[in-house]
Amino acid sequence: MQNPQHELRELESLLAFYRDAGVDCFLGDAPVDWQEHTRRQAADRQLQSTPASPSAAAGEPVSIPAHNPPAAAPLRQQAPASPAQVAPQGQPAVIPDREIIASARDLAASAATLDDLRACLEAFDGCNLKLTAKKLVFSDGNPQARLMFVGEAPGRDEDLQGKPFVGRSGQLLDRMLAAIGLDRSSTYIANVVPWRPPGNRTPTPQETEICKPFIKRQIELVNPDVLVFLGAASAKNLLGVQDGIRKMRGRWMSYPVAQREIAAIATYHPAYLLRSPLEKRLSWRDFLSIRSRLSSQ
Ligand code: URA
């Protein structure tokens, strides 16, 4: 039999491993079919709200009426479908759909300044990531900068501080900026998704689509001369290119905004460079190219 002290130490180190790996919520060991669960919940609700019919009592399928959102409500809210969708404060989760994406687009377009845009995001309840994130991670740096970086989504440190790229990958980014004579006061930094996905998972395509109008408007409002995508995800989402980062990085492209084309380039994400330090030599080339583009424009 194992010594209880030893067992406790093993448990503590397992927990520390999970924490370092970014795990921040426990869902359970057995897989759950949440679609089936949601259907059952809806059927139960229907049974409770309508007098029992002979067919329902006999266990035949219950038809669920189509959900028609009220015309005046831009965001469709629905009873929580899974623990992952339940807000810590008990707010109902939002099921992403076209209406929400359209309302995100309208809201983002209505922002005349970066402060407006931040306020719009603070008030926006259309993205479930907001339910689990601690803070909105809007931006860091100088809104007047000629150089703007766009990452994918915040991680744990960013979520705690409410600023992008402040963890280990952000520190590497700072060193890379310093290598070309820049710092955060001469750059503006944001992410495609401004809320941390739980456990640092990749944002889903729906979450990204919902957040995209906001980052697009943010780029328009900053209107930099040079736009740098950190990693393939942000470049793919905002430029619509399908190439992998190895093929895409270091190539000058253009990003269209209302009145002009912004020079854009993708480079390796600093988190990838931390795992693959040999690739830093290629990033160094990209950063030199960024510096010369800034001085030639
Ligand atoms: N990775 C990102 O893409 N963005 C951050 O803000 C931090 C890490």
For 169-207, write each residue's pLDDT tens digit. 999 999 999 999 999 999 999 999 999 999 999 999 999
Residue 197 CB–ligand 1 contact under 6 Å: no
Q: Identity (one letter) of the amino acid at 207? A: E
With 80 as the cut, is the pLDDT of residue 229 above it? yes
Q: For the chain, how big is the Rg over CA atoms in Å?
A: 23
Residues in the chain: 297
| Ligand 1 centroid from CA 171, angstroms | 11
- Which residues in the chain belong to E strands, given as ranges? 140-141, 147-151, 187-191, 226-230, 253-256, 261-267
Residue 139 CB–ligand 1 contact under 6 Å: no
pTM: 0.71
Residue 286 CB–ligand 1 contact under 6 Å: no
What is the helix (H) or strand (E) element at residue 6, kind and residue range? helix 4-20
The token duo for 92 is: 């109902």
Please state, in angstroms and rounded to a whole number, the distance separating the CA atoms of residues 17 and 10. Answer: 10
Per DSSP, the three-state class of 222 is helix
Residue 191 CB–ligand 1 contact under 6 Å: yes
Question: What domains are there in the chain, each with its CATH number?
Answer: 98-296 (3.40.470.10)
| Ligand 1 centroid from CA 163, angstroms | 9
Task: List, for residues 92-119, the tens digit of each pLDDT value.
Answer: 666 657 899 999 999 999 999 999 999 9
With 90 as the cut, is the pLDDT of residue 254 above it? yes
